[in-house]
Amino acid sequence: MEKIKVGIIGATGYAGEELVRLLYQHPQAQLVSLASHSYAGQPYSGIYPNYREIQDVLCDPEDIEPLAEKADVIFLALPHGLASSKVTAQILEQCKVIDLGADFRLQDVSVYEKWYKVPHEGKEILPQAVYGLCEWNRDAIRKTSLVANPGCYTTCSILTLSPLVAEGAIQLDSIIIDAKSGVSGAGRSVKLDNHFAEVNESIKAYGVGTHRHTPEIEEQLSYRAGVPVYLTFTPHLVPMQRGILAVCYATLTEKYSWEDLHTIYEEYYGKERFIRLLPQNTYPETRWVKGSNYCDIGWKIDERTNRVIAIGAIDNLVKGAAGQAIQNMNLMFDLPEDMGIGQVPMFP
């Protein structure tokens, strides 16, 4: 079988580097271009010395048009606002595109422009985009040429809550998501708030009431519910490199036991390769999914308040970014869904 020719635009960010690491080990992928705005012309192994004598190629400029002529699929790992100006109908006729940014995740342009504060340049192709949450949109992903890879917070939150929402087990106006992220989620660019001395020995909430992943979570849960969903989402920065932990609270619609909710989760996720449903009184920890494409989910019923506390954990750079993007690629090219991303979580 001929290998898939892969290009990565934004290859020198954290998500881009994780794509390179995983795709290098993918048996059906051939990296044909690593493109970077800041490091064009420089050897990739000079930017990330862990690739010395492994990936010494020079970084290409971020020019999508010539890349589309030689690649079967292009991964875009760019800040928001850039992908929608680069991807065109002509590009999609030449190759498939998987966007790890936010530009094609929201189908309502007005919502995107309100939350991201930039104009959307790809309105004409937006209807083609499929939200790349593999466990829920598998069939549509197989048929599209444009995948919007979900965000890290959103992947963890949506996977954790979707079965309960779809089955009407929770009151939709009661959902609160309290999420924590490692600092790699903020990207590699230099920012004062991410310096070691600013982050170490501290935890803080940010984007309180304004975080851009909020409408993404709401839109996807609304599809499950069949009615609009509005919720409270508060992210926190914690002093670790990788990981997302989403603690989700909601009021149950009736009296459920732990076993009742297990039946619901098992119905949706029992056969899913990358979702692990934890035993009763066992809860997800980021250390047990680090470096992997797994999402661990556990839950507890607070009988006193009739609320459920559902908890999910992922690696933000793998299941929350590069790993899920490759999972999407596998679906788009009719490959085994876990090809190249079945690594055991790293510990310690």
Centre a 10 Å sphere on the Cβ of residue 160 and count the other Cβ atoms it contains. 27
Listed in sequence order, the residues at least 6 apart from 70 whose beta carbon sits closer than 8 Å to its beta carbon are: 5, 7, 32, 33
Rounded Cα distance, 318 and 341, in Å: 9
Angstrom distances, CA of residue 33 to CA of 29, 41, 214, 323:
12, 12, 33, 19
Phi, psi of 124 (to 5 degrees): -70, -25
Buried b (16+ CB within 10 A) or exposed e, 244-274: bbbbbbbbbeeebeeeebbebbeebbeeeeb
Question: Catalytic residue among 59, 134, 152, 248, which?
Answer: 152
Centre a 10 Å sphere on the Cβ of residue 79 and count the other Cβ atoms it contains. 15
Q: Is 295 a catalytic residue?
A: no
Phi, psi of 343 (to 5 degrees): -60, 145
Question: Which residues are identified as catalytic?
Answer: 152
